[in-house]
Structure 1
Amino acid sequence: MFIKILCFGKLDNRLFQQLFDFYQTKIQKKINFEVIELKENYQAETKVNLEVNSNLLQEKINKFSDYEVILLDVDAPMLSSEEFAQAIAKNKDLKTGKLLLVIGPSDGYDQAFKMNYPRISFGKITFPHQLFRLILAEQIYRALKIIGHEQYHK
């Protein structure tokens, strides 16, 4: 199985980087896992940011046409850890075994862009991007443990 995270920015906080590396190492023992970082475009107007960054995402997504794309979006339906694990297992067992999880830019996705892809949410609160990348890595690891019927703390 292949899982890629497509996101904006780098982990520039040493603590977040160490914790992310911890989960990345665990994940990579189970699957092929990679993070693709994009440079976010900031303009004076939010509407411009939405369009430019969504276009940048679309260009990158087009390079992974054999991957199932899921957008992480605070306004999307919320999934539990078990439901997230089911989504990963379904991709692994019934689809391509390739999953591209997208963390959007700080201003969010362009409305037209986000309607092209399935979306999920881990809750209605907004996290800083660096923290959310860590949370997503932990949830991927948790999902892989659930799929493998392995013990994991609650």
Structure 2
Amino acid sequence: MLRRGGVEQLTVWTGEAGPVGLGPGSTGIEYRGRLGEPDSYGLLAASFGHPKAEPGARFDPMPSRPGEVLPPVPGDRLRLGHLEPRWQRGIADVVTRGYATLRISAAVSGEIGSSLRVFRALAAVLSALSHAANRTEAQLWADWDGTYGDGEST
């Protein structure tokens, strides 16, 4: 778990160790930000394609154990395996620009706390991890910050 400023955290995991159990070869990332903000939550997991494959994102989100994710905001309702179409387009754009190939295998959004910005930033971090899995905490936050402001908030 990577914390920043007391109000933001990124959790990166593989296998069964995170908020959603993942299959072999998948990496997950969950963001929790300032409670009550429209950009305060998102979870995305993917397996990485071959480095020489055509860049892009394929969507097949289905969390394997949906009961384990706790709502980021009291009263928020989580949507397991759901990504709004424009969020999918935003993710695909970021992944393609990052020259990555991702098979999205899990997604969790909050009705109140999720946004296009959050999912674009999650995609940027996953894209960076697909090229170099041993990124430092500072590098992961830089990946997050580099894309977070690049897009609309909802």
Q: What is the TM-score normalised by the length of structure 2?
A: 0.29
User: Over alpha carbons, which structure has the higher Rg?
Assistant: 1
Higher helix share: 1
Higher strand share: 2
Structure scoring higher RCO (CA < 8 A, sep ≥ 6) equals 1
